[in-house]
Amino acid sequence: MRFQSVKGTRDFYPADMRLRNWIADAWRRVSLRNGFEEYDAPIFEYLDLFTIKSGEEIASQLFSFTDRGGRNLAIRPEITPSLARMVNAQINSLPRPIKWFSIPRLCRAENPQRGRLREFFQWNIDVIGSDDVLSDAECIFVAIDFLREVALTPDEVCVRIGSRPLTVAALQKTGVPPDAMDKILPVLDKRPKVSEEDFQKLSGTVGLTDDQITTICRFQDCTTLAEVREVLGDLDTDDVDDLERLWDYLQAMDVADYCVMDMRIVRGLAYYTGIVYEVFARDESLRAVGGGGRYDNLLEVLGGPAIGATGFGMGDVVLGILLEEKGKLPDLTRTLDFFVIDDSDVSLDQVTKIVAALRSKNYSADFSYKRQPIGKQLKEANRRGAGRAVIVRKDRLAIKDLTTGEQKERATGEFLENPEA
Amino acid sequence: MRFQSVKGTRDFYPADMRLRNWIADAWRRVSLRNGFEEYDAPIFEYLDLFTIKSGEEIASQLFSFTDRGGRNLAIRPEITPSLARMVNAQINSLPRPIKWFSIPRLCRAENPQRGRLREFFQWNIDVIGSDDVLSDAECIFVAIDFLREVALTPDEVCVRIGSRPLTVAALQKTGVPPDAMDKILPVLDKRPKVSEEDFQKLSGTVGLTDDQITTICRFQDCTTLAEVREVLGDLDTDDVDDLERLWDYLQAMDVADYCVMDMRIVRGLAYYTGIVYEVFARDESLRAVGGGGRYDNLLEVLGGPAIGATGFGMGDVVLGILLEEKGKLPDLTRTLDFFVIDDSDVSLDQVTKIVAALRSKNYSADFSYKRQPIGKQLKEANRRGAGRAVIVRKDRLAIKDLTTGEQKERATGEFLENPEA
């Protein structure tokens, strides 16, 4: 075949699209009920917007291009820089806190592999204009509200919570200078994803000594906040207090059973400044389903004010694999409410009138373009995923439930009055 | 300000997004009830897919780029080539007719102007696998079903219907050779959009003589099919018959009051082969709102079988302007069902419990992160677009309708049982 899609992109045939819409609808429903409003930004932006503060990994994965006017542009690999740009542009008129969500299509020039594609959809929720850890707690709550909505239990998934400032404090304690952090944090972020040997090697390349690695690992392996306090001594107690208040909120919000403190969580993006977290399958058999955290400096770096911001992203690819593995995908095969069929002695006109009447009541309804025997039309009704077939006879209708096979006769007027009876 | 969006793209702040969703939801609702299933394709494809058959105009407006693997790619300027590619890839397993719709984001490197942007959304419906003019009629019906859905009347908008083969026949009659058609059709397409003088000039550049132009204009200015027959003589009567059958179907479907025969309609894209049409404001004060037609060769050109195909596209930009001008945009300012407020003597816990209970019933509900006087919280409720404020008191709630100002007391349990009572 001559034409193909590009590797790492997906064609959404109707069955795939129904699943994509089912996920996006749940994201949207959960966002709206939690008081978030939807926004979106352009699919491409000036290249600079994405290179200034997102870190090297994402900058190396950009689809960039130059337009006829010589502008350097790129397809968005994430939406947070666009969000910061938009908020900055209207900072004086937007009431705060700003609680917004989006479901952008994103592109990254990665090597396609399981759970990772070059084009995907990512749910984003953000709260801008609050320094209160309550807003971090609310973002985590919304993530968990979605996990519950799609029936993922605390036995199956969890939110692992770490802290950028505590990780930085632990690194400083071992003698790492402040200007080396941007290089070292992405290496720590890799630790849970690679072998211990590869981690040692990577750590060496960014200048960490064996002693430093040991001390950092001791911090990262803490499983309680009491242990964290012990390892760090009197360094940075405010940030431990923050994690404790976060935990209290998560308990009050009744979602603590989904949460785990885990100092291995660092996040790959450069702009995080506070609490960070990732959503994982409990058995850690897959990449992170999503993740987020506080990014208090990003708006300022992009020319705006210094105000608190925190947020969360969840992609559709790993999520889709997880939902399938755990058997949580719904049956989406019923795609048409009614398929209308003509018995041999009625005209096409009688059929199209009933189809039009059903459609005007917002039922999805269809019919065959070809005049053919009832059996063939019933087959087409099934193939099209219709819930019910409506067989049009001289003066009555036969309504056949295509799931149960049950059939009943109804008068046309009475049927159109209440088609679902 | 340092960072801006690229000219010709749009930021969708929440109010813009609500409008975009309102339009897209109507497109989706109308498509589904007419028996169409949703699909989507990647935002970028191999460049070739878009240059092979869409014509010069669209090829000159591509955002193209080369990825790290040296592949020549482009952001999609339309979705029909991707649709043809997808259908070809599964041609043996897809039951026909294929009735699909999509609401893709598209990008074209045009000069931004009123009604024309570099990034937009376009509703597409297509029927593949039917040669019957009934399928063209159905596409036109669906377009009009949408116009009715958003309350645009036959006095305000109309579908102008022309014919590619009749236009080609009229050109052949004046002596234009077949291989000149691809060059001349786009010029005829421009005629209603430019001055008569500019049209004469453009016609000259593609080699049309004054006599040829006069004859073609006589054909294009026909207002009835009888006139068309007269002008063409016995040339191509089959295609006039097709238009007559189309008209009969449109009358039977009760949408003929929205339709006009108009031989000036040619369409700009190169791949059309049959009936073509465009949706316009009656007063022709704006560009076309949408348009479509039959394209029987496209699948074959892209490596598939020779099967009939017909379809329709409608963008969101001109449509948005038209809906605003005609006063058809809905009031979308109510964005939150409930805003929950604490009276001074209740704890934050009592507030968040009521918020959580409302959210678990799928109502959108929110509260203030800050503890502040009722007056300030009511102001925040209004600013957030809440329909109702819930004021939490020691043992009862006061529910205030923020539209009417009415307030009533309700017991907490009874309220949560039925919040909308």
Q: Per-block average pLDDT, block size 10, for chain B (421 residues)?
A: 87 97 98 97 96 78 93 95 95 93 96 94 97 95 97 98 95 92 92 92 93 94 92 84 95 94 91 95 93 93 92 97 97 93 85 91 93 92 95 92 95 94 85
The pLDDT of residue A2: 66
Looking up tokens 């095969």 gives A333
- Window from A140-144, A281-285, B276-280, B403-407 with minimum mean pLDDT: A281-285
E strand or H helix at B352, and its extent?
helix B348-360
Residues B259 and B391 in one domain: no
Q: Mean pLDDT score of chain A, rounded to an integer? A: 93
Residues of A in contact with B253 (CB under 8 A): 352, 356
Instruction: Give the mean pLDDT of A212-220.
Output: 94
User: B282-285 long-range CB contacts below 8 Å, 24 or more apart?
Assistant: B282/B155, B282/B156, B282/B157, B282/B158, B284/B192
Do the domain assignments include residue A301?
A: yes
For residue A369, the domain's CATH number is 3.40.50.800
Residues of A in contact with B107 (CB under 8 A): 43-44
ipTM of the complex: 0.94
Residues of A in contact with B302 (CB under 8 A): 2-3
Work out the number of other CB atoms within 10 angstroms of the CB of residue B272: 26
Do the domain assignments include residue A221?
A: yes
Residues B340 and B311 in one domain: no
Choose the closest CB to B365 out of A1, A9, A35: A35
Percent of chain A at pLDDT exceeding 90: 84
The pLDDT of residue A52: 84
Alpha carbon distance A43, A312 (integer Å): 19
pLDDT band at A271 (very low <50, low <70, confident <90, very high): confident
Do the domain assignments include residue A3?
A: no
Q: How far is A370 from chain B (nearest CA, A)?
A: 9
Do the domain assignments include residue B344?
A: yes
Instruction: Give the mean pLDDT of A94-114.
Output: 94
Whether residues A88 and B3 touch (CB distance < 8 A) is answered with: yes
Instruction: Give the mean pLDDT of A244-260.
Output: 94
The pLDDT of residue B53: 74
Residues A319 and A341 in one domain: no
Residues A348 and A200 in one domain: no
Residues of B in contact with A364 (CB under 8 A): 32-35
Residues A174 and A221 in one domain: yes
Q: Which residues pair with B292 in a beta bridge?
A: B277, B312
Q: Which of A306, A325, A344 is the last residue of a domain?
A: A325
- pLDDT above 70: residue A113: yes
Residues A34 and A134 in one domain: yes
Give chain B's domain count.
Answer: 2
Do the domain assignments include residue B212?
A: yes
Determine the structural domain holding residue B276 and report its residue range. Answer: 14-325
Instruction: Give the mean pLDDT of A117-143.
Output: 96
Alpha carbon distance B280, A394 (integer Å): 41
For residue B188, the domain's CATH number is 3.30.930.10
Alpha carbon distance B60, B29 (integer Å): 34
Residues B226 and B359 in one domain: no
Instruction: Give the mean pLDDT of A33-61.
Output: 90
Residues B243 and B376 in one domain: no
Residues A250 and A370 in one domain: no
Q: Which of A282, A299, A325 is the last residue of a domain?
A: A325
Do the domain assignments include residue A218?
A: yes
Do the domain assignments include residue A2?
A: no
Q: How far is B148 from chain A (nearest CA, A)?
A: 10
Do the domain assignments include residue B301?
A: yes
Residues A181 and A212 in one domain: yes
Residues B299 and B380 in one domain: no
pTM (two decimals): 0.94
- pLDDT above 50: residue A366: yes
List the single best residue of B5, B7, B20 to mutate versus A (max A Cβ within 10 A): B5
Choose the closest CB to A6 out of B37, B44, B349: B44
The pLDDT of residue A1: 44
Give per-residue pLDDT as tens, A294-324.
Answer: 999 889 988 899 999 999 999 999 999 999 9
Whether residues A3 and B252 touch (CB distance < 8 A) is answered with: no
Residues of A in contact with B48 (CB under 8 A): 3
Residues of B in contact with A49 (CB under 8 A): 3
Whether residues A6 and B107 touch (CB distance < 8 A) is answered with: no
List the single best residue of A299, A369, A379, A382 to mutate versus B (max B Cβ within 10 A): A369
3-state secondary structure chain A: CCCCCCCCCCCECHHHHHHHHHHHHHHHHHHHHCCCEECECCCEEEHHHHHCCCCHHHHCCCCEEECCCCCEEEECCCCHHHHHHHHHHCCCCCCCCEEEEECCEEECCCCCECCECCEEEEEEEEEECCCCHHHHHHHHHHHHHHHHHCCCCCCCEEEEEEEHHHHHHHHHHCCCCHHHHHHHHHHHHHHHHCCHHHHHHHHHHCCCCHHHHHHHHHHHCCCCHHHHHHHHCCCCHHHHHHHHHHHHHHHHCCCHHHEEECCCCCCCCCCCCCEEEEEEECCCCCCCCEEEEECCCHHHHCCCCCCCEEEEEEEHHHHHHHHHHCCCCCCCCCCEEEEEEECCCCCHHHHHHHHHHHHHCCCCEEECCCCCCHHHHHHHHHHCCEEEEEEECCCEEEEEECCCCCEEEEEHHHHHHCCCC
The pLDDT of residue B1: 44
Q: Which of A305, A325, A345 is the last residue of a domain?
A: A325
Residues B19 and B130 in one domain: yes
